[in-house]
Amino acid sequence: MAISLEGRLLIKNSTKADTKRDEGLEIPEEIEYLECIQYGENAEYQNLDVCFPKDHDGKLPVIVSVHGGGYVYGSTKVYMFYCASLAKRGFIVVNFNYRLAPKYNFPAPLEDLNSVLHFITENEQMKKYPFDFDNVFILGDSAGAQIASQYGAIFTNKEYCSLFGFEMPKIRLKGLGLNCGRFDLMSQVNESGKKGVLRDYFGKDPLRFGEKLDVLKYIDSNYPPTHIITSYGDFMMPYAEPMKEFLESKNVKCECKIYGDENVWHVFHVNVRWDVGIQANDDQIAFFKKL
């Protein structure tokens, strides 16, 4: 299926904005950054980067970053400086590529996230890196936040997991970071699932996925503690507080913070040179460290 006009414009505009944002940046000297480790059979998409402080003592808590991009765009290259900045805060960070729409449809990113977690826990190559699998955090922004939030439900609800046929990796998922995202997937699909990037992701008939789309139905008190970030200029801001309230109604520990003003836009926190983004990342990491 050909990509939608919305998808083409998203790729064009995001590529231009992300290139400008990261111009001149380099990986910090104190960070070990390992690129393009293949975790699956698809060499084009199924590869990951790992980064962590060179000067570390023992194992490090793990962050797995799910990039955004409307399911059609995004890569480890776009998120490498952001992930390196998280590593500077005392974590080992996994920055991975997943199969993109429209070439690959739902639930390909969820399958790939699950494969990444199995790969880092089971592959011999990974055993030389300082992973603490008793302290794993998954974060994502925009479409990546939706993917991360859905995986949190799969990981913590056996009935929901059975719909996907996943085997869960041997980790302790301690928390989620859900940034600039929308989380009620069923409502989103009912509203606009047959057009734009959602059509790219789900194909012509998204409702054929049935119960797999009803993420909120399967969130219960076992869902991981969650930290939500948004900004006053983020078009996804209206979905942040309702998600916080929903999670709290399920007795899930949750914090939600809104930053800046109308000039602080979508996924602002990925800009590692922007003070408001630095503060947001500091706050999210502080939440993780409390867990």
Q: What angle do CA 40, 44, 49 make, to 5 degrees?
A: 65
| Cα atoms found within 13 Å of the Cα of residue 250, Cβ hemisphere only | 19
pLDDT score for 16 = 97
Please tell me the distance from the alpha carbon of residue 194 to that of residue 201, in angstroms, as a whole number.
10
Closest CA to 272 of 18, 74, 61: 18
How far is 214 from 230, CA to CA, in rounded Å?
23
Upstream peptide bond of 28 is cis (omega within 30 degrees of 0): no
CATH number at residue 87: 3.40.50.1820
Q: What is the mean pLDDT of residues 96-116?
A: 98
How many helices and strands (H and E) does the chain possess? 9, 8
Q: Would strands 47-53 and 31-38 be described as parallel, antiparallel, or unpaired?
A: antiparallel
User: How many Cβ atoms from other residues are within 10 Å of residue 36's Cβ?
Assistant: 10
- Nearest Cα neighbor of 111 from 100, 93, 98 is 98
Per-residue confidence band for 218, with pLDDT thresholds at 50, 70 and 90: very high
Residue type, 273: R
What lies within 8 Å, CB to CB, of 193 at 6+ separation is 199, 202, 206, 207
Provide mean pLDDT across the span 249-275: 98
Query: How far apart, in Å, are the Cα atoms of 131 and each of 6, 63, 122, 161, 231?
Result: 39, 10, 11, 25, 32
What is the full DSSP assignment across 56-82? --S-EEEEEEE--STTT---HHHHHHH
Q: Is the pLDDT of residue 193 over 80?
A: no
pLDDT score of 124 more than 90 = yes
pLDDT by residue (tens digit) across 33-71? 999 999 999 999 999 999 999 999 999 999 999 999 999
Would you give the end-to-end CA distance of the chain in angstroms?
43
Number of structural domains the chain divides into: 1
Q: pTM of the entire structure?
A: 0.98
Residue carrying structure tokens 């919305």: 6
Residue 44: the pLDDT is 95
| 235 token code pair | 């078009």
Cβ atoms of 274 and 284 closer than 8 Å: no
Q: Which domain holds residue 54?
A: 5-290
Residue 192 is predicted with a pLDDT of 85
Q: Phi and psi of 177, rounded to 5°?
A: -115, 115
Contacts of 48 (CB under 8 A, 6+ apart): 36, 37, 39, 76, 94, 95, 96, 97, 116, 119
**In the predicted structure, residue 13 carries a pLDDT above the cut 90:** yes
For 162-178, write each residue's pLDDT tens digit: 999 999 999 999 999 99
